Amino acid sequence: MSGLTLLLIIPVFLLIAVFVDMVHTGSETQSLAIQSDVTFYTAKDIEDNIPILTEKILQKATNNVVETGNPLDDSSDYIKNDLQEGISQLSQKYQNSEHINVTCKIWSVNPTQDPFKIEVNSTVYVQKGNIAHKEHISQNISIMDSNYPVQDPLPFIKCKNYGKMANTSTKILYGSSLASLLKAKHLKNANVYENATSPLFIKKCPYDPYIGHGNPPYFVVLKNCIDTGYFHESSDGSCFLCRLEGKVTCPHYGFETFIAPSNSSNSTLMFAPCSSEHVIFDDHVYSGKGIVYYLDKSNYLKLFLDNGHRQKYGLPKY
């Protein structure tokens, strides 16, 4: 080989070396991209599972309170602990099947500005090889998912020991329990609540603004609201987490509903305990004047409402 040929060959070797190195780097980058995809999608999967797990846990915890009539001591803590257990089991599955290191810490479960949602705060950490993905997540989770409907636990806590109640339809059927509770408090006309009903599952009233409940003709919106069984946003009624603890009022923004007396053949409009549940279950029950919202032959459907609630729902004051 002549000196000139050698001089020409050297750059060719150098070029090949650079090219090989480039290919090598390229494949490494590609593998890093796959790994970061895996960590990203695993974190996303954990994140997507938090609301579903929360809803399941909330439903189960509520069913238990409804069944026993026993309130939870600390509902946020209870749900947080159950959620931590569920999400840790899910993380472990990743560890076992895909050798991905996954941890998820549930920090807190709180009420939110929207009383039909609860907030869950967590941190997800996913690591595979030399790629790690860490994310702080705050999720507002609905308590109205039709896949996991939750019952209103408060009446079952409050009426425990006062008689049988049924939760076999879309309504709570109080039987004699509520009337007995009110009689035990020596309240006047407590008997109007014999066989009263209220909504069983938490559903937000779509008739917003609420003042339209009193729109003419008659009270057709109010009747639809009561028949379907809706709850209304309220700063007086307790939030869902506090309901699980048996609290009638709380510092959080909450909701309220009507407890409807059964139909009556008596048209007389007297005063009776106020048909708003946060009033009826409170230690200091005040009364409201009867309002007939539906009349069928000699069957009168009435609520008993104070002027404050009448104003909120656009009903005539007395």
In the complex, the smallest distance separating the C-beta of residue 75 from Zn ion, rounded to whole angstroms, is: 9
Give the residue with the Cβ less far from Zn ion, 35 or 76: 76
In the complex, the smallest distance separating the C-beta of residue 296 from Zn ion, rounded to whole angstroms, is: 21
In the complex, the smallest distance separating the C-beta of residue 246 from Zn ion, rounded to whole angstroms, is: 11
Helix axes 75-98, 3-68, angle to 10 degrees: 140
* Residue for token pair 């994140």: 47
Residue 252 in contact with Zn ion, rule: CB under 5 A: yes
Residue 250 in contact with Zn ion, rule: CB under 5 A: yes
Residue 205 in contact with Zn ion, rule: CB under 5 A: yes
In the complex, the smallest distance separating the C-beta of residue 28 from Zn ion, rounded to whole angstroms, is: 53
Question: Using CA atoms, how far apart are residues 38 and 24, in angstroms rounded to an integer?
Answer: 21
Tell me how crowded residue 246 is: count the other CB atoms within 10 A of its CB: 21
Question: Using CA atoms, how far apart are residues 116 and 110, in angstroms rounded to an integer?
Answer: 12
Residue 190 in contact with Zn ion, rule: CB under 5 A: no
Looking at residues 27 to 66 of the shown chain, list those that interact with Zn ion (rule: CB under 5 A).
Answer: none
Give the residue with the Cβ less far from Zn ion, 104 or 118: 118
Closest CA relative to residue 274, chosen from 202, 164, 210, 190: 190
Residue 239 in contact with Zn ion, rule: CB under 5 A: yes
Give the residue with the Cβ less far from Zn ion, 128 or 213: 213
CB 300 within 8 A of CB 307: no
Tell me how crowded residue 111 is: count the other CB atoms within 10 A of its CB: 21
Question: What would the x/- binding string for Zn ion be over residues 274 to 293, using CB under 5 A?
Answer: --------------------
Dihedral sign for Cα atoms in the order 185, 187, 191, 194: negative
In the complex, the smallest distance separating the C-beta of residue 239 from Zn ion, rounded to whole angstroms, is: 3
Give the residue with the Cβ less far from Zn ion, 162 or 230: 230
In the complex, the smallest distance separating the C-beta of residue 162 from Zn ion, rounded to whole angstroms, is: 24
* Binds Zn ion (CB under 5 A): choice among 65, 242, 301, 303: 242
Q: Which stretch binds Zn ion (CB under 5 A): 36-44, 142-150, 217-225, 271-279?
A: 217-225
Which whole-number Å values give the CA distances from 302 to 6, 229, 241, in the listed order?
107, 15, 30
Give the residue with the Cβ less far from Zn ion, 133 or 310: 310
Q: Which stretch binds Zn ion (CB under 5 A): 51-59, 116-124, 136-144, 220-228?
A: 220-228
In the complex, the smallest distance separating the C-beta of residue 205 from Zn ion, rounded to whole angstroms, is: 3
CB 57 within 8 A of CB 145: no
Peptide bond into 209 cis (omega under 30): yes
Looking at residues 73 to 112 of the shown chain, list those that interact with Zn ion (rule: CB under 5 A).
Answer: none
Question: Using CA atoms, how far apart are residues 188 and 174, in angstroms rounded to an integer?
Answer: 18
Question: Using CA atoms, how far apart are residues 96 and 116, in angstroms rounded to an integer?
Answer: 37
H/E stretch holding 302: strand 299-305
The size of the chain, in residues, is 318
| Contacting positions for Zn ion (CB under 5 A) | 205, 207, 225, 230, 239, 242, 250, 252
